[in-house]
Amino acid sequence: MAIRKIVQYPDPILKQKSKTVTKFHDRLHKLLDDMAETMYDASGVGLAAPQVGILKRAIVVDIGDGLIEMVNPEIVEKSGEQISPPEGCLSIKGLQGDVRRAQKIKIVGQDRYGNPMELEAEGYLARAFQHEVDHLNGILFIDIADRVFRPVKEEEEA
């Protein structure tokens, strides 16, 4: 495994649509392993392949309950609405945003071997999945946020 460089906004790759994964081989497995290691190293909760410069439909998510890898993810059901907590992004340093997301989703895709998988998620996990799937479609949180802001650092509040 290796830590990869995280692509930073405004790199144009972040605005491109990712391609469907058709080959489930060792290179894909290495990409998923590297993405997880990169996400953990950066203290993130999710990472999409375009964020490491690869235009493939692959994401990793871990909100603290264990790693979830998904290839060719697609959100097939949405319900409810949430707007907090503010979202950030490993590819957009120093900004956060208030983004309206579905409270509950159903997401389908494949595992690293090409086997079908389906998950239901709500709350923070649903938010993380929606954020990462947006990356695969060239959508950044700053494109859809109701409000984008720089968070106040604790030392600035004093």
Whether 132 is catalytic is yes
Residue 154: its pLDDT value, please? 61
Q: What is the pTM of this model?
A: 0.95
* pLDDT tens digit sequence for 13-52: 999 999 999 999 999 999 999 999 999 999 999 999 999 9
Residue 90 resides in a domain = yes
- Is 25 labelled as part of a ligand binding site? no
Q: How many residues does the chain have?
A: 158
Choosing from 77, 132, 156, 157, which is the catalytic residue?
132
User: What's the number of domains the chain is made of?
Assistant: 1
Residue 63: its pLDDT value, please? 98
For 60, the domain range is: 12-151
- Is 135 labelled as part of a ligand binding site? yes
- Is 131 labelled as part of a ligand binding site? yes
Exposed e or buried b per residue across 127-140, where buried means at least 16 C-beta atoms within 10 angstroms of its C-beta: bbbbbbbbbbebbb
CATH value at residue 63: 3.90.45.10
**CB within 8 A of 3, min separation 6: which ones?**
34, 37, 38, 41
Separation between Cα atoms, residue 125 and residue 109, nearest integer Å: 16
| Residue 156 pLDDT exceeds 70 | no
